[in-house]
Amino acid sequence: MRELIAYLSAEQPRINATLERETAGLNPLVQPVVAHVLEAGGKRLRPLLTLLTARALGYAGDDVYPLACSVELLHSATLLHDDIIDDADLRRGTPAAHTMFGNTKTVLAGDALLALANAIVARYGNPRLTACISEAIVETVTGEIAEIAYLRSTGHPQQTYIDIIKGKTAYLIQASCRLGALIAGADKTQEEAAALFGMHLGIAFQIVDDALDFAPSAKDIGKPVAGDLREGKLTPPLLMYLENLTGDAHKSFVQKFETGMFTEAEVLAVAAAIREQGLDARTRTLAEDYLATARTALNALPDCAERTVLAQTMEYVRSRSH
């Protein structure tokens, strides 16, 4: 992943500077919430994907940076509203915004970031960019709602899980890639290839995330393990664990999962059993099919340095440990 790491080091400062400039005009009331969610904020994978796709398809303009950042701002908006919804007390190992700033400022900061992301894309005056971001917003919210609708349910098939993570995670990663293709003026074949890559990378990303929930690395000390079990989300490790249970053990798990009645000791015991049975590792293998499709899609893009880096984002998704 040498090229990816080099590209990240080179581009992160400019991405962060753009995020800072774009959010500088927001009201001081929500600035601390916005700074908090952006500082907590990971690797800037989404803006990087927009940049890489645009560059791979021959676009050299500097005005791609705000476009790339619009997706990160939208992602941050969903993190803030998720915080309220999940009532999660820790997010990426740092306290959730709503515990630090309260519901009001957290809702408003999320609304402000969503509005800003949308306004940035509208600035380009390009209906195809607008259609892309507005579809991504709809799909992301739809995915979040579907996830809540299936909380504490054990009766739905794995395909429902895939539909949920497509919505809540993959559509936005797809949009990151599609926006890059669109600003580059890509033809329909290349645009769809970039979108297909993003969609499948995004699905794989979330599957690995759901494996990591049961096998946190040393860097995640302080983050509660098995958040998905506590919240009642039937992710693949839990579905596999449930499928291994029989008789009373199965019945008891279903009953406790559906009512949210697990004790802390039971949660930790399930997490340990999932690791012992290797179900977190088996979950990671589920991501392989999606990564294979992503790889095939990538072949439709010109063979260039940026395509090499895009291929390495798959490696990053596959191997990440936190």
170 binds a second copy (CB under 8 A): no
299 binds a second copy (CB under 8 A): no
17 binds a second copy (CB under 8 A): no
81 binds a second copy (CB under 8 A): yes
177 binds a second copy (CB under 8 A): no
Cα angle vertex 234, ends 139, 219, to 5°? 90
Q: How far is the CB of 135 from a second copy (least distance, A)?
A: 7
Q: Which of 142, 154, 293, 308 binds a second copy (CB under 8 A)?
A: 142
Q: Which of 122, 239, 254, 300 binds a second copy (CB under 8 A)?
A: 122
213 and 270 Cβ atoms separated by less than 8 Å: no
Q: Which stretch binds a second copy (CB under 8 A): 108-116, 203-211, 245-253, 263-271?
A: 108-116
Q: Structure tokens of 84?
A: 């309220």
191 binds a second copy (CB under 8 A): no
Q: Which of 6, 131, 272, 292 binds a second copy (CB under 8 A)?
A: 131
281 binds a second copy (CB under 8 A): no
Q: Give the SS3 label for residue 95.
A: strand
- The amino acid that residue 280 corresponds to is D
Q: Give the SS3 label for residue 154.
A: coil
Q: How far apart are the first and last CA of the chain?
A: 16
DSSP H/E element including 139: helix 127-149
67 and 50 Cβ atoms separated by less than 8 Å: yes
Other C-beta atoms within 10 Å of 148: how many?
14
Environment class of residue 127 by beta-carbon count within 10 Å: exposed (0-12), middle (13-18) or buried (19+)? exposed
Q: Structure tokens of 3?
A: 């090229």
Residue 250 phi/psi, 5° resolution? -65, -50
Q: Would you say 123 or 152 has its CB closer to a second copy?
A: 123
Q: Would you say 26 or 45 has its CB closer to a second copy?
A: 26
Size of the site for a second copy (CB under 8 A): 40
Q: Would you say 85 or 304 has its CB closer to a second copy?
A: 85
116 binds a second copy (CB under 8 A): yes
112 binds a second copy (CB under 8 A): yes
Q: Which stretch binds a second copy (CB under 8 A): 118-126, 175-183, 196-204, 244-252?
A: 118-126
Q: Structure tokens of 202?
A: 């995004």
296 binds a second copy (CB under 8 A): no
CA 169 to chain centre: 4
Q: Which of residues 228-257 bind a second copy (CB under 8 A)?
A: none
Nearest CA among 135, 74, 138, 82 for reference residue 107: 82
Q: Which stretch binds a second copy (CB under 8 A): 113-121, 197-205, 299-307, 311-319?
A: 113-121
In which region does residue 222 sit, left (phi positive, over 0), alpha (psi from -120 to 50) or beta (all else)? left
Residue numbers at the binding site for a second copy (CB under 8 A): 26-30, 81, 84-85, 103-105, 107-108, 111-112, 114-116, 118-119, 121-123, 125-127, 130-131, 134-135, 137-138, 140-142, 144-146, 148-149
